[in-house]
Structure 1
């Protein structure tokens, strides 16, 4: 008895989802294949990767920041951003400076009050000097919504989290199944080719060195 159209479609779906008997090997290519020769000296072993990362981040309208919690508190106060979320793991380090600046901090992001949060402070998993990219992961990001919904997102990182190239970062991050690559603030040019920032995510992306 011939299969119905529905059965035929479902059979094809099952066949497509079945594990492959033999997978193709990953292509062989040098890790530096995509690195611009002009950037190579800035990314060489022993170079200041924070300086290289900062320069690339500024080119894509990101905001690299040094000075830790005190510098961030002063910047938020200057911008009149007074209410936000902070990763509970970061609170002991950040609360004194934020409280002294008169800022209101919450450690639970209330989805029902998403518009109340003017900034979110979370931890980055890594950064890439080659492109000025911040990497977020479910392992280190305490609240995905707090990293993507407020207009200002602050991702904290240390110098040892900065990788020279994309290939270095991929090798270091291993098989983490859920990573977000943030190269500057959210942007789109879908509407008549006009570039607009802060449409699908933060309009201000800060990388705070701690």
Structure 2
């Protein structure tokens, strides 16, 4: 009996460490934000086109208002792009409501973010980050080695892209181009 008690006493510090770690993990889960615990990413559907249209239009009005007339004149081309890109479109939902989207196109070994947008009321809740991370994983799986995006220089999303590791790679007219080497596979799936 004394041998068993001595063995238990020796293991107690290890058990105590494990219990502390489990408690910290549980506390982390309890403190997870509502946004993180209620976000879902899924593939784009034809029924998402009106949502994409609304956010695209809002973006143009807010950040490139001088291009609004031209954008509206090309609406058929935009619709064709949105529809043809549905297989590479990810929709983020918060508590069952659409919160944002990202769609991308492939050019050889390069994955280009064609558009990423988050509804105003859903910004600063991790939606954009989740969309970009999902895109990067999907692009890696597709065999792309580089990700690229472009945006007007005054777009505040620049800070998100920098946080994700994108580096300036040039200018194309009024658009700042940023790239990121995608490296190895980092798998994230769709529900």
Q: TM-score, normalised by structure 1?
A: 0.23
Higher strand share: 2
Higher helix share: 2
Q: Which has the higher contact order (CA 8 A, sep 6+)?
A: 1
Instruction: Pick the structure with greater CA Rg.
Output: 2
